[in-house]
Structure 1
Amino acid sequence: MTTKNTGRMKGIYGIKVCPFCGGTVDYAGIAAGHIFPEAHTGQMYLCKRCGYQGSFILEADDVREIKEIEKECRQLKSAGKSKITPFRFPAGWKWFWRLILVLVVIMWIVLPAAFLFNMLA
């Protein structure tokens, strides 16, 4: 596991690469499935370049491999075979987010107005 040039140990983990654009990704946390039970994805990553969010990434050990991945991604994108899907919440949870929106509106408008009228009366 030592490199010939430097004599140092190689890292255990490779360089994490986006599967859509070949850019570097950041660790975004763990999706445990408590909020979205349909999404048991484990670790989540976020691409800095294209905005991809997901658990599927590529790992490369060498910079040359990353350049090859970026080249292949560009070729697929120019051929129209690579599609980046935007992040969406599961369809079954739309009612939940609508309820949250209604509660936020109530907190911002109705509660301050009720407090104001109680102070004036």
Structure 2
Amino acid sequence: MSKTVEAPASTPAETHRAALDDRRLTYQRCRSCEQAWLPAREECPKCWSSDWVWEEASGKAEVVSWVVYHTAFDKRFAGHLPYNVAVVQLAEGPRMVTNLIDLSEGEDVIGQAVTLAFEEEFDRPLPRFKLRGP
């Protein structure tokens, strides 16, 4: 179950980043239609309402899709090759783009349960996910 989070007066992106800096993954939920979403934005992507609240994710998710990159399209990632990019669906509903950690090469993970794990990169804690045990 998620909990509502009080947000400081700033942009949604800044509020979301501040929570990540505290190693908390937050998302927004519309008070009008109950839609939950990431990334942070000013209005609901479903009904366009600006009446929403912040909630904190439980850290549980499922892998929807993923790909392994063998070419770095940004030179900052050249030292990470090969690396994966995944779409996970949080237990609370929103989907997010992230990376999966501690995977075996060639492992198929679509539909598998994952849990939130922060890793430091570019001097910031970034939300990543790892496979949950059986």
Coarse TM-score class (shorter-chain normalised) = under 0.3
TM-score (norm 1): 0.19
TM-score (norm 2): 0.18
Bigger proportion of residues as strand? 2
Bigger proportion of residues as helix? 1
